[in-house]
Amino acid sequence: MEKKGLEIIGLSYSQTQTGAYALILKEVDGKRRLPIIIGGFEAQAIAIEMEKMTPSRPLTHDLFKSLSEAYDISLKEIIIYNLMEGVFFAQLLCVDGNGVEREIDARTSDAVALAVRFSCPIYTYEFILSSAGIILDDDLASDSLTEALPKMEKIIEKPASDTKKNLDNLNIELQDALDREDYERASRIRDEINSRSKDN
């Protein structure tokens, strides 16, 4: 599947969920926005690094970066690879000193917090942008980010698309895992497909 580049364009207190924040990612070569609701701690971790602030003690994500660098591990990219029942799923693509690549599952908010620290690219797939991306209309585009966020947040409060579409997405992910010979991930996806199929 072709990957779509994303970049961070905004981070603001959520108007609809107490204690949460809205992270807005923009399609690099397009007009779509991907709004994601994240927790306060993760929002702080992203904002601190974006603003180049230095906390008195390392945050968890800073510790992860220091530990990775100490063992010659770099973060090549992160990818938001799935969306199920309103929850985004992400992976870290790490490379060690010998060039061996490993994929590690992560919460999307943690993955983005690490991406800003490692200055690595953020990607997703077309089917995620198609189902959760927003193209700003003229009225919304004229709003400031603060005014636009409550309108954008409504998208991610909607229930996920129907089960058939979720199963289609899972089957795509299963094939991708098999193509990459990531059999552990393929096994987890297969179990999820079987579980959802039994529920219908």
What percentage of residues in the chain have a pLDDT greater than 90?
42
Q: How confident is the model at residue 138, as a pLDDT?
A: 47
When pLDDT is cut at 50, 70 and 90, the band that residue 171 belongs to is: confident
Please tell me which residue, 85 or 141, carries the higher pLDDT value. 85
Number of compact structural domains in the chain: 2
- Check whether residue 168 and residue 78 sit in a common domain: no
- Check whether residue 41 and residue 110 sit in a common domain: yes
- Check whether residue 129 and residue 33 sit in a common domain: yes
Query: Each residue of 103-153: pLDDT tens digit?
Result: 999 999 999 999 999 999 999 999 999 989 888 654 444 444 545 455 455
- Check whether residue 55 and residue 105 sit in a common domain: yes
- Check whether residue 133 and residue 87 sit in a common domain: yes
- Check whether residue 167 and residue 152 sit in a common domain: no
- Check whether residue 52 and residue 87 sit in a common domain: yes
Please tell me which residue, 98 or 198, carries the higher pLDDT value. 98
- Check whether residue 133 and residue 91 sit in a common domain: yes
Report the CATH number that the domain containing residue 84 is assigned in CATH. Answer: 3.10.690.10
- Check whether residue 56 and residue 77 sit in a common domain: yes
When pLDDT is cut at 50, 70 and 90, the band that residue 166 belongs to is: low
- Check whether residue 120 and residue 133 sit in a common domain: yes
3-state secondary structure the chain: CCEEEEEEEEEEECCCCCCEEEEEEEECCCCEEEEEEEEHHHHHHHHHHHCCCCCCCCCHHHHHHHHHHHCCCEEEEEEEEEEECCEEEEEEEEECCCCCEEEEEEEHHHHHHHHHHHCCCEEEEHHHHHHHCEECCHHHHHCCHHHHHHHHHHHHHCCCCCHHHHHHHHHHHHHHHHHCCCHHHHHHHHHHHHHHHHHC
Please tell me which residue, 46 or 14, carries the higher pLDDT value. 46
- Check whether residue 135 and residue 177 sit in a common domain: no
Residue range(s) defining the domain that contains residue 98: 3-158
- Check whether residue 10 and residue 60 sit in a common domain: yes
